[in-house]
Each structure stands twice: as C-alpha cells, then as structure tokens.
Amino acid sequence: MGEGIRVLILGTGQMGAGIARLVLEKPGLALAGALGRRAGRAGMDVGRAIGLDRDLGIALEADLAAALGRARPDVAIQATCSKLEDAWPEISTLLRHGVPTISIAEEMAYPAYSSPAIAGEMHELARSKGVAVLGTGINPGFILDLLVIALTGVCARIDSITATRVNDLSSYGPSVLEAQGVGLAPEAFAAGVKSGTVAGHFGFPQSIHMIAAALGLNIDRIEEERQPIVSRVRRETPFVSVAAGAVAGCAHTAVAYDGKNPVITLVHPQQIRPELEGVATGDTIEIAGAPNIRLAGSPEIPGGIGTIAVAVNMIPRVLNAAPGLHTMADLPVPAAMMGDARRFVRARAEGCAHG
C-alpha cells in the first residue's frame, strides 16, 4: 500500500463514478481501476468515464478477472446492482481472488434476508480467503437501520421503533422516477404496484432484519404498503412533468410485526418537488421505550453523497475486520476519514489480536 490503498471500483454509474472521484480525492487511497459494463465504453479512460475532464491513464475494464490482474486491488467497491443474486457473481470472483469487498447493492445490507444460502456461502468463502465483505449505503445501511440500532443502545427497553425518511427525488433521472411511479395516473400507479413496476423503496426488509437481529427482536411478518402521492399542483423537474391529479411519488411504508405487535415501522415517502405542497424533507427516528427517544433532522441527509461517503469511509473498517461476511451492525461505526487512509488501517498481526 506504499502509493496508497489500491481501490477497484465496479460500476461507473452515478454511485460508482462518485465513489471513484472520492477515492481520487482522499489521501492514502489510490484508484487502481474501474469496471464499466455499458456497451462501447470498455477501453475509454476512467477519468472520462467517471465524469472528470481529464485522463487518468487507466483504461475502463469490461472483464472483472482481467481487471483484477491489472489493478491488483487491496479492496473493491461494488456499485453495479441492487439485488443479491446480481451482486453475488462479482463478489464471489472478488473474494476468490482474496480481495476485501464493499458492496452498495441494497440487498447486501443484510444478505441473509434475500438468500441465507448465498449469505452462508459468501461468509465461508470470505473466511477461507481471509478477507471481509460488507454491504453498506445510506439506506439501507445507515439512516433507517444502523442509526436506529445505535440510538436503542441507550435504552433499557424497546416497545416499538418508527423511523421516517422524507426525501426529494427532483435530482433523479428516469429509471428512479419510474420505479416510484412518478408521472403516472393514480390508476396506472395502482396497476404498477400490482405488477411490480412501481417498486418504491428498495431495502425495507434488510433494514428491519438488521435492526431485529441487533436487538434480538422476533419478526413474524412484514407488511408493506405503497400509496401514490397524488399531486394537487403541477410539479416539474428536468426529467418529468407531473400535472395536478397525477402521481408525484410513492409513499412506501413497512411494518414489522411480532405477533400482533407492530415493533418496527419504517416510513419512506419519495417524491419530486415536495416543497411545492409545503412538505419538508427530513429524517426522524422515534423510539418508544425506556427512555423514549426522538431525533430528527431536516432536510434529509442526502442519499447520493451519503452512500458514496460511507462506502469509502468503510474501507479501513473492512480491511481491519475479521474475515467473513459483516453487516454495518457488526463493525465499528463509520467515521469520516480525514487523514491519510493508511493511518486508519491496522497492521495485519495487530488486526488479528485487536479483531
């Protein structure tokens, strides 16, 4: 790690490109390479691929095995997909090559929910190769789970938890807006919820099971509801125009029950231009128990830069971690990495003793 911790980035979309740019900014990190699968981009300079106006002298890779050979990474960050089954082939390749891995795939925040089998295989592979693997991101991964867990830490008893994140989709492009049903008529929204094209937020079960596992709560079932946010006014962004009476977003909630008791409620309405109807964005965590706790912030902690930052800030945590699969609740809290990144990494021998 003489010239810095060598980081390989998988994915050059908005998140992957942002992570790569932050890696370039951080002292002690070195951008070892980037993988981009969009057709016709292989071979272009990574600098251009991640939105810089300069060349970095590194060619964008299309094949992971080849990229690993050239990049010789100390750690990889995966920003290519959302689902565990899509993430797993790349992660297994990385782990087989002995590369500690951070993924921002939503289902990787708590992979045992989507597939205990894959999660188990991932854990064993990582252990056998002596490296750690982690799923992270702002949500799931931080606001509606890790931060909730941390706040329960000063409670003697928990009766129920409600966490709410009201955000603004105005800066997002067509694929995100479609998944939230933005621009649809209410009837089309309802049909989209039924068919699955209106998905709402991706990550509620992961957040709920991360909290439940950390607190020892029993969850019998999760009920999710997706309601249209029907706009009373015209709302416009560069990507979409929503007339009054059409859908400006998706009010998605998940309630986790222990028997008849709703123990965890997560609320995440996402819409464009919320301010046009006086809706304030923000994050709120409310814990009913001993003591009651309520913590809130407005506007919401921004999702894009937040995910980019936490993925990079977790690099030393993953390099220091014991081999195996981890969640954010298993590792020390993330911290902004303000000094040389190498100073946050323990020597291997000490890492073993300190765990």
Min dist CB 43 to its own copies, Å, is 29
Question: Can you read off the two tokens belonging to residue 214?
Answer: 């950390």
In this structure, the number of other CB atoms found within 10 A of the CB of residue 127 comes to 16
Residues 224-283 that bind its own copies (CB under 8 A): 283
Whole-angstrom Cα distance, residue 25 to residue 73?
17
Among 58, 155, 176, 185, binds its own copies (CB under 8 A): 155
Establish how many alpha carbons lie within 13 A of residue 346's alpha carbon, considering only the half-sphere containing its beta carbon.
13
Nearest approach in angstroms of CB 94 to its own copies is 20
348 touching its own copies, by CB under 8 A: no
d(CA 17, CA 304): 11
Nearest approach, Cβ of residue 306 and its own copies (Å): 4
Tell me if 157 contacts its own copies by CB under 8 A: yes
DSSP 176-209: HHHHTTTT--HHHHHHHHHHTS----S-HHHHHH
Radius of gyration of the chain (CA): 21
Question: Of 31 and 146, which CB lies nearer to its own copies in the complex structure?
Answer: 146
Query: What is residue 230's three-state secondary structure?
Result: strand
**Which position among 214, 229, 247, 250 is part of the footprint of its own copies (CB under 8 A)?**
214
Task: Return the residues of window 287-316 that contact its own copies according to CB under 8 A.
Answer: 289-291, 293-298, 301-302, 305-310, 312-314
Using CB under 8 A, pick the residue from 154, 196, 221, 349 that binds its own copies.
154
Q: Determine how β-strand 101-103 pairs with β-strand 132-135.
A: parallel
Considering beta carbons, is residue 224 or 330 the nearer one to its own copies? 330
Spatial contact of 72 and 32, defined as CB atoms under 8 Å apart:
yes
Task: Classify residue 45 by its DSSP letter.
Answer: B
Q: What whole-number distance in Å separates Cα of residue 28 and Cα of residue 20?
A: 14
Interaction of residue 343 with its own copies, rule CB under 8 A? yes
Compute the half-sphere exposure of residue 337: CA atoms within 13 Å on the CB side of its CA. Answer: 24
Residue number, 67 or 144, with CB nearest to its own copies? 144
Of 149, 166, 240, 255, the one binding its own copies (CB under 8 A) is 149
Size of the site for its own copies (CB under 8 A): 65
Residue type (1 letter), 128: S
> Out of 146, 179, 240, 267, which residue is the one contacting its own copies (CB under 8 A)?
146
Backbone angles phi and psi of 61, in degrees to 5: -95, 150
Site string for its own copies, 25-54 (x = CB under 8 A): x-----------------------------
Joined together, the tokens standing for residue 103 give 């993924």
Task: Tell me which stretch binds its own copies (CB under 8 A): 100-108, 147-155, 177-185, 191-199.
Answer: 147-155
Smaller CB separation from its own copies, 39 or 336: 336
Q: Copy the structure tokens of residue 182.
A: 């933005």
Of 29, 28, 25, which Cα lies nearest the Cα of 8?
29
CB of 322 to its own copies, least distance (A): 3
Among 30, 248, 264, 321, binds its own copies (CB under 8 A): 321
> Which residues contribute to the site for its own copies (CB under 8 A)?
22, 25, 127, 138, 142, 146-147, 149-158, 214-217, 283, 289-291, 293-298, 301-302, 305-310, 312-314, 321-324, 329-340, 343-344, 351-355
